[in-house]
Chain A
Amino acid sequence: MRYLNKSITEIHELLKSKAIKPIDLVEEAFENIENNKEYNAYITLNKEEAIKQAKELESKEVDNLLFGLPIAIKDNIVTKGLLTTCGSHMLDNFIPIYDATVVEKIKANNMIIVGKTNMDQFGMGSSSRTSYFGSPKNPWDKTKIAGGSSGGSATTISCRDVLFALGSDTGGSIRQPSSYTGIVGMKPTYGRISRYGLVAFASSLDQIGPLTKNVYENAVILNALVGKDEKDLTSARKEEEDFTRLIGEDIKGMKIAVPNYLMSDIVSPEIITKIKETIKMLEENGAKVDYVDVKYLDKAMTLYQIIAMGEASSNLARFDGIRYGHSKENPKDIQELYFETRAEGFGEEVKRRIMVGSYLLSGENAKIYYDKALSIRDDMKKEFINVFKNYDLIIGPTTTTTAYNLDDPMDDPLKSFMDDVLVIPANMAGLPGLNLPVGFDKSHMPIGMHIIGNAFEEAKIYKLASFIEKELNLDLNPFGGENNE
């Protein structure tokens, strides 16, 4: 009997009435993971501990919607006692001694961690092919990429192994793989979720967020993840809210902006057509949709390269072979330890980015590049603020193409940035953004719509997303035959 393809409310009722136990769900999850292991979604499984935890839960009261549900965690979020590699040789022996704040929250809700998901090394890449542990494969077509960097989290949700996964998004790393694999992925507002215990890539952009098969479940788990954390100074103190509260409301009168740049010829015609169809459907249902100009969107990739590579070069300076992680054997002095540890431990993409980042921050260059990027970024944010004076939400495509071949060449250092060109602006401005599947291309690969909200207005995004989801009623199970909730 399968339960994990049911809705969380159904599963919750079954658990509550004791018709099933958490162990049934855990066993089913590991069976799914085993059946789908060719998709390479996981780096580490947490089977023994998960089974133990599930059994312990049998004596506890089923006190919340997430109780007893299996969840997968991206491998750059630290989990006490459970290997956390960041997809890199540099940390392939690293056992964290504390839990990230989100992991504490998950455990407090009695959710069960099944494993750590595959990812681009340190989050750097857009196809998860920079992972030291092999690439995840797209469940819709295993010759194609799952996207990245949260490729493993997207893959395991798309495969329907588990209901929930956590990812992180610095420049699209939740939303882009969600688009490629046909699932719902949310990057919340910067500050919404504590980043304590997320291995830092670019601190002014990084944000943790949930990946799920549908909108409602995404909003439910977001409820459990948010909040001020004294261990993360940038986490925001906000009044408690239920992110599901606007789901099901009529969208009549909603004002939606579509930036012209996001619908320009950098996007494949098939995707443009699909987004336009969806826009037409929204208009027919009473939403007001306008095309608008948003300045600096075409500069987002350049800003991202400077800010993300600069901050990465600083954040990754901590990997020195001294306190944890990979270490050069028998170094003759400290210089050799640093240089050789990093040469051996980091992959190519990481090396490239921290070399360029170090250069961009060195001496006078910091003024020429980094400060300037921060200045233009401020103007970009002001542009967004202006749009949100007149509109509830911004929409456009999530990606310029659908998932491409796993064996496409990786020798162009710009490609991984180009893949995220449409989703980077939300990171720059700290805004929440969600990928929603809206259809398929002619090879039946998923197409995603990106919905951007004003800061801390995730609930509005879920409102529109759930409306579209219900109207389109797509079969989003890559293995077929799913009855959508």
Chain B
Amino acid sequence: MEDKLSKEEVLHVAELARISLTEEEIKKYQVELKKLLNEVEKINDVEGYDDDILIANWDSNAELRKDVAGDMLNPKEVLENAPRHAGNYIEVPVVISDGEGA
């Protein structure tokens, strides 16, 4: 048997990543994603390490900035990059429609 993910498995990860795929892409990713996942599995062969974790190489104490108002972004400039906007608002398509519930 060929070493690949099932179509359903590919569609599941595509759903998690919010990406739609064509039939052709699904076929391709069945093989390619499996290769990557096989590689990642190698982590289970590693032994002898302790339980401490290293989230990031950052050992300074959290130094928070003072809670004072600084320069703000200009809403007009911000909106210029938004694909759809009206007035001072960004437009989004329907989020909840009849019959689908929320």
Contact = CB atoms under 8 A, between A and B. Distances in A.
B46 to A, nearest CB: 6
Interface string A22-54: 000000000000000000000000000000000
Interface in B8-60: 10, 12-14, 16-21, 29, 32-33, 35-37, 39-40, 42-44, 46, 48-58, 60
B63 A237 contact: yes
A413 B83 contact: no
Contacts of A230: 63, 65
Contact of A352 (B36, B48, B51): B36
Contacts of A352: 29, 32-33, 36
A95 B43 contact: no
B99 to A, nearest CB: 12
Contacts of B37: 356, 359
A376 B10 CA distance: 28
A413 B35 contact: yes
Interface residues of A, number: 74
Given A94-B81, A97-B81, A334-B95, A191 B32 contact: no
B39 to A, nearest CB: 6
Contacts of B12: 359
A164 B74 CA distance: 32
Interface in B71-97: 73-74, 77-78, 80-84, 90, 92-95, 97
Given A190-B57, A190-B58, A356-B13, A322 B90 contact: yes
Contacts of B48: 379
Contacts, number: 177
A95 B19 contact: no
Given A355-B17, A356-B36, A331 B43 contact: no
B1 interface: no
B53 to A, nearest CB: 4
Nearest to A329: B83
Nearest to B82: A323
B69 interface: no
A343 B60 contact: no
A411 B36 CA distance: 12
Nearest to B76: A97
Contacts of B73: 97-98
Contacts of A455: 57
B20 A343 contact: yes
Contact of B92 (A322, A369, A377): A322
Size category, B interface: 35 or more
A349 B15 CA distance: 17
Interface string A272-313: 000000000000000000000000100101110110010001
Contacts of B10: 355
Contacts of B81: 94-95, 97, 323-325
Contact of A414 (B35, B54, B63, B74): B35
A196 to B, nearest CB: 12
A379 B16 CA distance: 31
A306 B40 contact: yes
A362 interface: yes
A464 to B, nearest CB: 22
A325 B37 CA distance: 30
A303 B44 CA distance: 11
A337 B91 CA distance: 12
B14 A355 contact: yes
A375 B52 contact: yes
Nearest to A313: B17
A230 B60 CA distance: 13
A29 B76 CA distance: 35
B56 A321 contact: no
Contact of A339 (B18, B63, B74): B18
The CB with the most chain B CB atoms within 10 A, among A97, A332, A371, is that of A97
A338 interface: yes
Nearest to A235: B60
A381 interface: yes
Contacts of B43: 299, 302-303, 306, 369, 372-373, 376
B46 A299 contact: yes
B46 A376 contact: yes
A236 B95 contact: no
The CB with the most chain B CB atoms within 10 A, among A203, A322, A331, A430, is that of A322
B36 A354 contact: no
Interface of A: 94-95, 97-98, 189-191, 203-204, 228, 230, 233-234, 236-237, 296, 299, 301-303, 305-306, 309, 313, 317, 320-325, 327, 331-334, 336-340, 342-343, 346, 351-352, 354-360, 362, 369, 371-379, 381, 411-414, 417, 429-431, 455
Given A97-B73, A334-B95, A375-B54, 7 more contacts: A236-B58, A302-B39, A334-B94, A355-B13, A355-B17, A378-B53, A430-B58
- Which 7 residue pairs are nearest across A and B when measured between Cβ atoms? A430-B57, A327-B83, A378-B54, A324-B81, A358-B16, A204-B56, A374-B53
18 contacts: A190-B58, A230-B65, A299-B43, A299-B46, A323-B78, A323-B82, A336-B93, A338-B18, A342-B20, A352-B33, A355-B10, A355-B19, A356-B33, A375-B51, A376-B46, A378-B52, A378-B54, A414-B36
